[in-house]
Amino acid sequence: MKPVGVIGIGRYLPDHVMTNHDIQAMGLDTSDEWIRERTGIEERRIAAVGQATSDLAYHASVQALESAGITADDLDLIIVATSTPDYFLFPSTACIVQHRLGCTRPIPAFDMSAACTGFNYALSAGAQYVASGAAKKVLVVAADLLSKFLDWTDRSTCILFGDGAGAVVLGEVDPGLGIIASDLFSRGELAEILYAKEGGSRNPISMDNPTRPLVSMEGRAVFKVAVNTVVPAVESVLAANQIAVSDVKLLVFHQANLRIIDAACERLGFTPDQVVITLPKYGNTSASSIPIALCEAVSEGRLSRGDLVVLVGFGAGFTWGVTLLRWSC
Ligand SMILES: CC(C)(COP(=O)(O)OP(=O)(O)OC[C@H]1O[C@@H](n2cnc3c(N)ncnc32)[C@H](O)[C@@H]1OP(=O)(O)O)[C@@H](O)C(=O)NCCC(=O)NCCS
C-alpha cells in the first residue's frame, strides 16, 4: 500500500455574514448573549440566493488544486461529501463539480453522505484509491449549504449552522507521512436525534404533504452522544498508534458547539493551543467544518510537514470518525 496524504488544501465561505443580532432582528426569541454562551457562535456565512452546494465546492476545489500545483485534468477521482446536494435525486454534486472544474477526462465522481462526519468518510474512501494504486490524485471536497434547509423559526436549530466548503487533494506522499489511521463509526438507531423528516422516500413531498426537508434535532441528546462517542474513539486511535496527547500538534474537531469541544478536550487532556476553533466566525458548516478549520490552521502557519494531526467528526446518522495523519504539505 502506498503512503497517502494531503498535497493541497482550500476553503470557501460565502461573503454574506449573518450575526446573532441579525437572527434576533428576524423576530426570533433569542439573543447574542444566549447563542454565544451556549454555542460559542457569533456569526455565520450564508450563501447567496442563487448559490448551490457545487458553487461552494467549486471555489474550495480551485484553491486546493492550486495549492497542490495541479490542474483538474490531473485528477483521477472526485468525491464530494455533502448532505445538501444540488439535486436531491441525481446527478451527484461531484459530477457538477467535475464539469465546473473543466475536467476534460471522464473520471469517476460521486457523492458521500455521512452528514457532519462526511469529510472523515470521504477522506478514508479517497485514500483507499490512492493507497491501492487505483488513483494517483483524488479531490475530496466537503460542502454543505444548510441555510436553505433550516426552519428559521426554530431557535434551537437555525442559530447553529452556516454554509461553506473545504477541499483537499490526496496523493502519494513520502513514507512516514500522510494518513496513519481512519476509524469510522455509525449507530443507526440514533438516526432521529438529528434528521430531516420530510422530503425523502419515507415522507415524500406530495400534493398532500407540501413540505420540504428541514433540520430537526434533539440538541441535548446530540450533545451527549457526541462527547460520549468521540472521546473513546480518539483515545483508542492514539493508543493503537502509541501516540501521546502531547505528541499531537493539532486537534481539528467538527465545529458544532464550543462546549462540546471543551468537554471532549478536557476529558482527553488536550490544551487550547492544540485545538483549532472557527465556530465564532462560521458556526457549524456541517461536513465542511473540518477541512475549513484545517485550511485556516495551515494558512496561519500552525502546521509544519511531519506534524501529527487528529481530525474528529461527528453528526447525523449517528456517525463519527477519527482520522490520524502526519501533515504532508
Ligand atoms: C442546541 C443547543 C445549543 C441547546 O443548548 P442547551 O443548553 O442544550 O439548551 P436546551 O435545549 O436545554 O434549552 C434550554 C432552554 O433554552 C431555550 N433555547 C433553545 N434555543 C434557544 C435560543 N437560540 N435562544 C434562546 N433560548 C433558546 C430552550 O427553549 C430551553 O428553554 P426552556 O428551558 O424554557 O424550555 C445544544 O443542546 C447543542 O448545541 N447541542 C448539540 C447540537 C449539535 O451540535 N448539533 C449538530 C451536530 S453535528
Distance between Cα 234 and ligand 1 center (Å): 26
Q: For ligand 1, is residue 261 a contact (CB within 6 Å)?
A: no
What are the cell numbers at 237? 486511535
Residues found in the chain? 329
State the pLDDT at residue 120: 99
Nearest atom within ligand 1 for CA of residue 222? 41
Is the confidence at residue 271, as pLDDT, over 90? yes
Give CA–CA dist 172/5, Å, rounded.
Answer: 6
Q: What average pLDDT does range 134-153 have in this prediction?
A: 98
**Long-range contacts of the stretch 296-304 (C-beta < 8 A, 24+):** 296/11, 297/250, 297/252, 298/9, 298/329, 302/249, 302/250, 302/276, 303/249, 303/250, 303/327, 303/329, 304/249
By most ligand atoms within 8 Å of CB, the mutation choice from 18, 156, 159, 257 for ligand 1 is 156
In whole numbers, what is the pLDDT of the chain averaged over residues? 98
Q: Are 207 and 213 in contact (CB under 8 A)?
A: no
CA atoms within 13 Å, Cβ hemisphere of 130: 28
pLDDT of residue 96: 98
Domains, the chain, ordered by start: 4-175 (3.40.47.10), 179-326 (3.40.47.10)
- Is residue 114 pLDDT above 90, yes or no? yes
Q: Read off the pLDDT band of 209 (50, 70, 90).
A: confident
